[in-house]
Structure 1
Amino acid sequence: MSAGTLSGLQQPEVTGALLDTPPAAPAQDGVDALCEQLAEVCRSATDPLEIAASLEFDGLNDQAVQAKYGFPDVFALAEEMHRRVPVRPAEPESPPDPWRQGFGRPALHGLLYSLPAVCFPAATGLLSGPGAITVLLVSMLASWSASQGLAYLGYLRLGRGDDAGTRHVLRWGMFVLLAGVTGAVWVAGTITSARVPAMAFAVGQGLYLLSATVLMVLRAERLLLVVLAPGCLAGTGFLVLGKPSGLALATACALAATPLLGAVLAAWLTRGGERKVLSGNEVLAALPSAVFGLLAALLIAFPVVPGWGAGGSGVNPGALLAAIPLSLSMGVAEWTLYWYRRRCARLLRGTGRVGRFRRRSALILLAALAQYLTATVVLVAAVVTGATALGLVDPQWTSAPQVVAYLALGGAMFLALLLQTMGCRLVPLVACGAAFAAEFAARGLGVPAQLAATGGLLLFLTLYAVAVLCKAIRHG
C-alpha cells in the first residue's frame, strides 16, 4: 500500500512538465472561418435567411452542415453566423447626379436669348408705319406660345427614347405652327394696314423662334450662333456706322438670312423622322406650356407697348433697359434651377426626418431665388453701365421702379418655371393670368400698376412654392 502511496505521490517531474506546457486550445468548429469568408454577406444581412440563402448558393445543404460544422441544418448555422458577426451594412454607391450641370451651357442659352435684341434697333427702317408694333406683338405672342408647346412635345418624345418620333414632331410642328403665326400676322397687318416689310419682319421673328426651339431641343445650341451671326453682325455694324442709308438694303438682307438659315438647319437636322401622329393626350399635355408662353410674352411685352404701358405716355424706358438683362438672366435661371434640384436631391438622401427636410428645403428654395435675383441685378447694372458709357442711353432714377418691376417679374418667371418642372403646372398659370389681368385693368396707373402686379405675383409664387416644394414626395 505504501508503495502504491509513494508511487502516487512521487511525480514531481511529470507535474512540472504539465505546468510548463500551455493548455491545448479548444477544437475549432470552423464557423469563424466561414464567417470571415462570408463577412460581406454577414455584415449586410438584416435577417439570418439572407445568410442561409448565400450558404445554399455556395452548395452547403443540411447534410454538409451537419458533417462539417455540427449544426442540425443550414438555418441553424446561419443564425449562429448572424449572431457572431455585427451587422454593418455597406453604404451604397451614390447614384449618378442627373442635376449636375456646369455653367457653360446655361450661359450660352442666356446669350442666345439676348442676341436677337440686336436685330431690332437695326430694323427700325423696316418697322416704320402704322401697325408695325401690333404685328410684332402678335408675332411675339403667337410664336412664344407655339414654341413652348413645340418644345414640350419634343422633350416628351425625346424622354421616351423615341428619336425618330422626336424629329418628326419637331419638323412638322415647326412648319404647321409657322403657318399659324403667319396667318395671325397677316390678319393683324390687314386690320392695322401694316406695311409689308413690317409684316415680313414679324413672320421672320416667328420663324426664328420656332427654328431655334427645334435646335435647342436637339441640343444643337452652338449652331444657333451660326444662325444669329448674319443678323447680329450686320445689325451691329449698321448701328455703329450710324445707320447709313446705303447699307439699309444689305442690312435687311442679312437680318432675313438669320431666320432662313435657322429654318434650313432645323429642317436638315430633323430629316428622316419616323411618321408618328400626335395623340390627343399629347396635345392636351402641351397646352399648359403653350399658355405659359403666351402669358409670359404678355407680361413682358405689355409695358413696352406705346399707349399701354407707362400710363399711356409712350414707350417704357425702364422696360427697355431691363429687356436685355432679363433675357441674359434666363441662363442664370436655368443654372439655378439645376443647382436647386441637386441640393434638394442631396438633402433627401442625407435626411431621415420629414420636419428637417421641410425646413432645409425651404431655405434652399429661398437661397435659389435670392441667387437668381442677385445675378439679375448684377446683369442690369452691367448693361446699364455699358450702354451709358457708349452713349446709347441716359438712365434716370425715375426708371428705377420700372426696372424693379421687371426684376420682380423675372423672379416670378423663375419660380413658375421651377414649379412646372416639379409637376405644379396649373397654379402658376392661373397666377400669371391673374397678374396680367390686374395689370391690364389698371393700365391707366402706369408703372405703379405694373409694380403691384409683378410684386404680388412674385410674393404669391414664393409662398406657394415654399408650401408645395418642401414636401419630400416632390423630390422623390
Structure 2
Amino acid sequence: MSAGTLSGLQQAVPPHALLEAPGRRGQRDGVGELCQEFAAVCRSAVDPLEIAAALEFDGLNDQAVREKYGYADVFELAEEMHRRVPADPVEPPGAEDPWRLGLGRPALHGLIYSLPAMFFPAATGLLRGPGSITVLLVSMLVSWPVSQGLAYLGYARLGRGDAAATKLTLRYGFLGTVAVAALAMAVTGLVVDARLTALAFGFGQGLYMLSATVLMVLGAERLLLLVLTPGFLAGAVFLLMGRPNGFAVPVAWALAVTPLCGLAMSMWVTRGIGKGAGKPFAFADLVAALPSASFGLAAAALIAFPVVPGWGAGRTGINTGALLAALPLSLSMGAAEWTLFWFRRRSWRLLRATGKLRAFGRRARLILLAALGQYLIATAVLIAAVSAIAWAIGPAQPGGSAYPQIAAYLALGGAMFLALLLQTTRLRVVPPAACAVAFALEFAGRDFGLRAQLAATVGLLLFFGAYALAVLGKPSRHT
C-alpha cells in the first residue's frame, strides 16, 4: 500500500461526527465506537460490502450483531456504518491477481504425482511374499501425514519472507521425518513377516514423498523430473520387455536411484542456511501443523482402506476398481490444483466487482459448484482413459463390479478437492475431522464392504459440499 493511500486513510474524522450521527430505529449503543474502530476501513470503502467483509474477518457474525448492536445482520450494520462515516476512498494501485496460474505448473504436478505409479508393477519381484501390501500401506499412512505437516511448516516460513529460515525448517524437518519413516519400517519388519526388499521399497516410497515435499515447497519441481527419470525409464522398459527375470536386479537398483537422488537434491536445495537463521521450528509451529498432518493421515486411510487384504471392498483378492481409480486419482491432483486456483481467481475478481453481500454469496456459490463440476468431469475422463488402456493391454479387466468402486473413489476425489479448497480459506480443522469421521464410519461398516465405502465417500462429498456452500459465500473467506 502506498504512502498516498495511507495518508488518505488516516485523515482525521472528529469523534463527535461518528458518535453523534443520527441513529436508526432500534439502534443500540456501541455503533459509534465501532465506527471509530473501523474508521480507516469505512473511509476507504466504496460500498458496504467491504465493511461487512472487515467485520466478519474480525469475528462479528449475524448473531453477535443482533445481540450487541440491534441490526438484523452484518450487512445491515455495515450499511449504517457506511452511511455514518464520510467516505474518502483513495484509488489503490492496481493489484496483481494473486491466484493467476497457467496450465504448465498443474500439468507438471500431474506428472510428478503419476509417474511413481510405474514403479509398483516394475517392483513386483521386490514385493513378493507375505506382508508386502501391509508394508506399503504402513509407509503410506506414515509418509502422507508427516509430509503434509512438513509442507505446512515450510510454506508457513516461506510466507514470512525468510528464505534462510525456510531452508532451515525444511532441512531439519526432512531429516526428522525421514527418521520417522525409517523407524516405522523397522517396527513393521519386526511385527510383520515381510521380506527385506519390501521394507526397503516401503522406505524408498516414503523417502521420495518427503524429498518431493521439500522440492515442491521451494519451487524446484523440475528437479523432481530428473529424480524420477531413472526409475521411470527402467520400469517402463522392464514392463515393455515383458518383465524378464534376468533384469529384475538391475531394475531394482534403478528404482533405488530415485529416492536416493531425492535425498541428495533435498540436501542440495536447502544448503546455504548460514548463521542467524534461528531455530527450525518452535513447539507452537508443530501444534499449528497438526491439522495438516491429521488431514494427510485421514486421507491416506480413506484411500488405502479398500485395498487392505481381508478388509473393506478389497477383502476378496485384487480390487480391480481400486487399481483403476488409483492412478487417475493421482493424475487428477494436477486438475485439482488448476481448478482450485480457478475458483480462487474468480472469487477474488468477484469480491472486487460486487457491491452487494447477497449477490456476492449467490455468485460465489455458483462458482464453487462450477469448480467442483470441472474437477469431477476431469477425473471421470481420466478414469475412463485409464480403464480403456487397462482393457486394451490386459493387466486389469474392468468388469461391471469395478464401476461402483470407481464411483466411490470419484466421490472421494471430489471430497478431497473440496477439503483442499477449504484449507486454502483458513478452514483447517473441519476437513481432517470430517475425513476422520468418514473413515470411522467406513471401518465400523467394513462387513458391508463396498456399500460402506460408497456411503462414507458419498456422504463425505455431500457434507463438504454443503459446508463449503455455507462458508465460502462469505466475503471474509476470500480476502
TM-score (norm 1): 0.80
For residue 281 of structure 1, the aligned residue among 268, 284, 300 is 284
Give 1:314-393 correspondences, 5 Å limit.
314-393=317-396
Question: What is the CA–CA distance in structure 2 between the aligned matches of 1:469 and 1:283, rounded to whole Å?
Answer: 27
- Is the counterpart of residue 410 in structure 1 residue 419 in structure 2? no
Aligned to 2:51: none
Gaps spanning 5+ residues in structure 2: where? 1-7, 14-86
Give, in angstroms, the shift of residue 387 of structure 1. Answer: 2.4
- TM-aligned CA distance change 1:134 to 1:473, over 3 Å: same
> Secondary structure at 1:126's aligned position in 2?
coil
Give 1:433-452 correspondences, 5 Å limit.
433-452=436-455
Give, in angstroms, the shift of residue 327 of structure 1. Answer: 0.3
Give 1:63-462 correspondences, 5 Å limit.
93-274=93-274, 275-277=277-279, 278-310=281-313, 312-462=315-465
> Secondary structure at 2:401's aligned position in 1?
helix
Question: What is the CA–CA distance in structure 2 between the aligned matches of 1:188 and 1:92, rounded to whole Å?
Answer: 58
Gaps spanning 5+ residues in structure 1: where? 1-44, 51-86
Question: What is the CA–CA distance in structure 2 between the aligned matches of 1:134 and 1:195, rounded to whole Å?
Answer: 11
8 Å contact 1:231–1:255 — kept in the other structure?
A: yes
Letter in 1 for 2:410: L
Question: What is the CA–CA distance in structure 2 between the aligned matches of 1:215 and 1:178, rounded to whole Å?
Answer: 15
Give, in angstroms, the shift of residue 314 of structure 1. Answer: 1.9
Aligned to 1:14: none
- TM-aligned CA distance change 1:387 to 1:473, over 3 Å: same
The percent identity for this pair of structures is 62
Query: Any idea what the Cα deviations from partners look like across 1:142-198, whole Å, max 9, x if unmatched?
Result: 111111000110111111111011111111111111111111111111111211111
Query: Any idea what the Cα deviations from partners look like across 1:56-112, whole Å, max 9, x if unmatched?
Result: xxxxxxxxxxxxxxxxxxxxxxxxxxxxxxx99997553100100001101110111
Q: CA RMSD in A?
A: 2.1
Question: What is the CA–CA distance in structure 1 between the aligned matches of 2:108 and 2:356, rounded to whole Å?
Answer: 39
> Secondary structure at 2:396's aligned position in 1?
coil
Q: Larger deviation: 204-213 or 268-277?
A: 268-277
Give, in angstroms, the shift of residue 390 of structure 1. Answer: 2.2
Letter in 2 for 1:323: A
8 Å contact 1:311–1:444 — kept in the other structure?
A: no
- TM-aligned CA distance change 1:244 to 1:146, over 3 Å: same
8 Å contact 1:146–1:177 — kept in the other structure?
A: yes
Question: What is the CA–CA distance in structure 1 between the aligned matches of 2:423 and 2:155, rounded to whole Å?
Answer: 14
Letter in 2 for 1:413: M
- TM-aligned CA distance change 1:194 to 1:351, over 3 Å: same
8 Å contact 1:142–1:181 — kept in the other structure?
A: yes
8 Å contact 1:305–1:315 — kept in the other structure?
A: no
Question: What is the CA–CA distance in structure 1 between the aligned matches of 2:476 and 2:135, rounded to whole Å?
Answer: 45
TM-score (norm 2): 0.80
Question: What is the CA–CA distance in structure 2 between the aligned matches of 1:262 and 1:452, rounded to whole Å?
Answer: 39
Question: What is the CA–CA distance in structure 2 between the aligned matches of 1:473 and 1:167, rounded to whole Å?
Answer: 32
Larger Rg: 1
- TM-aligned CA distance change 1:178 to 1:457, over 3 Å: same
8 Å contact 1:309–1:316 — kept in the other structure?
A: no
Question: What is the CA–CA distance in structure 1 between the aligned matches of 2:313 and 2:466, rounded to whole Å?
Answer: 29
- TM-aligned CA distance change 1:298 to 1:89, over 3 Å: closer
8 Å contact 2:390–2:398 — kept in the other structure?
A: no
Q: Would you say how many aligned residue pairs link Structure 1 and Structure 2?
A: 396
- TM-aligned CA distance change 1:353 to 1:243, over 3 Å: same
8 Å contact 1:302–1:309 — kept in the other structure?
A: yes
